[in-house]
Amino acid sequence: MPRRFVAIVIVVHGTLTALAFDVFSDAKVAQQRMHQLQLGYAVFLNDHDGKPPEDLSELYPDYVEQAVTFWHPGDADPPPETIDNAVPNAPNSARISFDWVLTKDYVMDDPFIADNTPENNAGQFVSFVTVDGVVETDPPNATPTPTRVALARAHLRRLGQAMLMYANDNHERLPDDLLRLWDSGLLQSPRSFWNPGDADPLPDDINNSEPNGKDSARVSFDFPAAGMGLDEIEPDTIVVIDNTSDNNDGYGVLVLTGDWKVTFVPDCVGDVSGDDRVGPGDLRTLLRNYGRRDSVTPSDGDTDADGDVDYRDLVNVLTNYGSSCTPGPSGNGGGVLPEP
């Protein structure tokens, strides 16, 4: 290959990488701003006996102090200097960059606020924040953060909340099938039933409960506690669990337990490389990423899948250094690591 062509390829690749970094960086700022807007909206409701604002510009400046919070840094429109209207894409508008998509009869997995166009993100995707504060993208997994395992944790927590709401209306008993959470209207997004790391695609609908089935309430998760009464559930009861560790790149499974927390059960505690051994390579990778809090996965040294590489991960590697895995809770070895 001619040297000149190689140089051009390197330059183009570097340019594309820089552009992608800018898009993701801007999207992260925008996602944080959506959270701020959601918080301001919630405080407004609290101060007005649950009555929403007639015009979203009413949030400024008492509930959202800075006008720039309403703006996506990737938006071609200039940042607002003040907020005095709620006209889509208009100057100084509460809807200059984001659409407020909350409906009157909402549930926890409904979108709350979203990019008003993919062009905010170079035409690649739309970010949105749900009623319960989970950041998602359309298409799924379009940004490095939140990671797939972080989203799976959020989806499991949401399933747990919906189950408790169901039990409250059904004689303190959990549903006998995850499908009941959909049919009852407690959840309205198929994403709630899906681990984004699953090889099976995101369901278009939820209409069955076949394991790993298309559009199934059990596309990603099994439900061992189906039909149990709340008085039968112990803190360590497995309520919902990944149906395979492959959902998490083979590193382990996420479990919703009877204390209504999500825990990660690794196949091999301290194994960063995925070779069922804990050794020098695992320690090197962990130390290289130590202190990172963004976009980390078990393969980066996040051995407890809690979203960062910290002293707990270092302890996991050092405690098991030199060991090989034996069969354990998730199938190949390991143990339960508590949710932070």
Cβ neighbors of 236 (< 8 A, separation 6 or more) are: 257, 258, 259
* Cα-trace Rg, the chain: 22
- Give the domain ranges of the chain: 3-138
Measured distance CA(144)–CA(292) in Å, rounded? 13
Q: What is residue 212's DSSP assignment?
A: T
The reported pLDDT for the residue numbered 20 is: 53
Measured distance CA(285)–CA(283) in Å, rounded? 5
Q: Which residue has the tokens 């209306």?
A: 169
End-to-end CA distance of the chain: 51
3: number of Cβ within 10 Å:
7
Residue 58 structure tokens: 């009413």
Q: Which residue has the tokens 């996602």?
A: 31
Question: Measured between alpha carbons, how far is residue 185 from residues 100, 106, 182, 189 in Å?
Answer: 21, 10, 5, 10
The reported pLDDT for the residue numbered 115 is: 97
How would you class 225 by CB atoms within 10 Å of its CB: exposed for 0-12, middle for 13-18, buried for 19 or more?
buried
**From first to last of its 340 residues, what are the pLDDT tens digits of the chain?**
555 554 444 444 444 344 455 899 999 999 999 999 999 999 999 999 989 888 889 999 999 999 999 999 999 999 999 999 999 999 999 999 999 887 667 899 999 999 999 999 999 999 999 999 999 999 999 988 889 999 999 999 999 999 999 999 999 999 999 999 999 999 999 999 999 999 999 999 999 999 999 999 999 999 999 999 999 999 999 999 999 999 999 999 999 999 999 999 999 999 999 999 999 999 999 999 999 988 899 999 999 999 999 999 999 999 999 999 864 444 444 444 444 4
47, HSE (Cβ side, Cα atoms, 13 Å):
11
Following DSSP, what letter does each residue of 92-142 receive, concatenated? Answer: TBTTSSEEE---SS--TTSEEEEES-GGGGTTS-EEEEETT--EEEESTT-
Of the candidates 101, 96, 86, the residue with the CA atom closest to the CA atom of residue 55: 86
Measured distance CA(223)–CA(212) in Å, rounded? 13
Asked if residue 195 lies in contact with residue 254, where contact means CB atoms within 8 angstroms, the answer is yes
35-70 pLDDT tens trace: 999 999 999 999 999 898 888 899 999 999 999 999
Of the candidates 190, 196, 188, 12, the residue with the CA atom closest to the CA atom of residue 103: 188
pTM, to two decimals:
0.87
